[in-house]
Structure formats: C-alpha cells, structure tokens
C-alpha cells in the first residue's frame, strides 16, 4: 500500500477543532496521525482506525485517520471540511485522554450522536455525494462560539430548540 503523511487534512483538522472548540474540547490532535492512502479504492473519504491495547503503549498515536486519495481528489472544499469534521466526531469524548474511559474508543454510529454531523452539513444527508451543490462551508461562519454557530436541532427540523 502506498501512503504519505497528510498535512492538508491536518491543517483542516486544526481549523475545525479551533472553530468548534466546545464540540471537540479536549481532543489532542497530536495523538492523531493523518495518512493519505494513494492506491486503494474506498467509498469512505476518511477512515478512523483506533490503536488498541497493547499497541498504544509504544505508539504516540491513539488514532490513524486514513484519507482515501481517490475519493478526496473529487470532493469540493466544503465537502472536505465536512469529511474532516465527521472523522474527528467519530472519536469518542475523551478519546485522546489516557485517564478517560473513552480513551481509544469511537462513537456509536446512530442518528442521535451523528445529528451533530448532519447539522454541520445543513441537514444534508447527501453532503458527500460527488457533485452535490450548496454544501455549507463549516469554517466560514463568523459567529464562532465554540460550536461554530451550529444549532444542530434547528438545522434538522427548522425550529429553534434553544
């Protein structure tokens, strides 16, 4: 398998974590390794792999984020931002904190947990479809309040659930 370190995705991840500081509170990007997989087909933009025990003992990384180059190349900037957001959100709260029960774990894949990702996508289930238009830029919101101005439930049902 051909791969390389991925500084582009790491840069987007830094922006996402800063912009959505309440959602990603405590996430240590230094414990994540971003790798671009150059020669493998996949339907996933980014696959999150956790390093299990006992391998994390001698490994500075808790998670590897494997970016599918073939898929990544055809995504718009907005879709790339959302792909990184989704990948980071896959990591359980406390996932990079050795003292947490969530260390090295990933979130369950259910609609309640992933409503945050869906909310970031403006309620669009098809945000990662090639050629999808009017995908929101999740990093351009000027009202940074730790959630990036994201009111998840309002974006899902069109109501103010504050």
pLDDT, residue 150, reads: 59
Return the percentage of the chain with pLDDT > 70, whole number.
84
Q: What kind and span of H or E run contains 140?
A: none
pLDDT for res 122 = 84
Full-model pTM: 0.85
Q: Which residues is 36 bridged to in the sheet? A: 4, 67
What backbone torsions phi and psi does residue 30 show, to the nearest 5 degrees? -70, -15
Q: Nearest CA to 90 among 158, 32, 154?
A: 32
3-state secondary structure of 50: strand
Q: How confident is the model at residue 61 (pLDDT cuts 50, 70, 90)?
A: very high
Domain extent listing, the chain:
3-157
């Amino acid at each position: 398998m051909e791969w390389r370190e991925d500084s582009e995705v790491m840069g987007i991840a830094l922006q996402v974590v800063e912009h959505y500081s309440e959602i990603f509170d405590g996430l240590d990007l230094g414990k994540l390794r971003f790798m671009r997989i150059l020669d493998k087909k996949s339907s996933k933009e980014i696959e999150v792999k956790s390093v299990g025990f006992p391998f994390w003992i001698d490994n500075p990384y808790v998670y590897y984020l494997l970016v599918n180059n073939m898929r990544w190349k055809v995504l718009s900037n907005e879709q790339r931002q959302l792909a990184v957001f989704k990948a980071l959100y896959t990591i359980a709260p406390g996932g990079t904190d050795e003292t947490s029960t969530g260390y090295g774990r990933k979130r369950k894949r259910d609609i309640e947990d992933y409503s945050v990702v869906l909310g970031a996508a403006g309620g669009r289930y098809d945000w990662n479809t090639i050629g999808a238009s009017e995908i929101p830029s999740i990093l351009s919101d000027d009202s940074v309040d730790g959630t990036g101005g994201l009111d998840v439930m309002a974006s899902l049902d069109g109501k103010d659930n504050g």
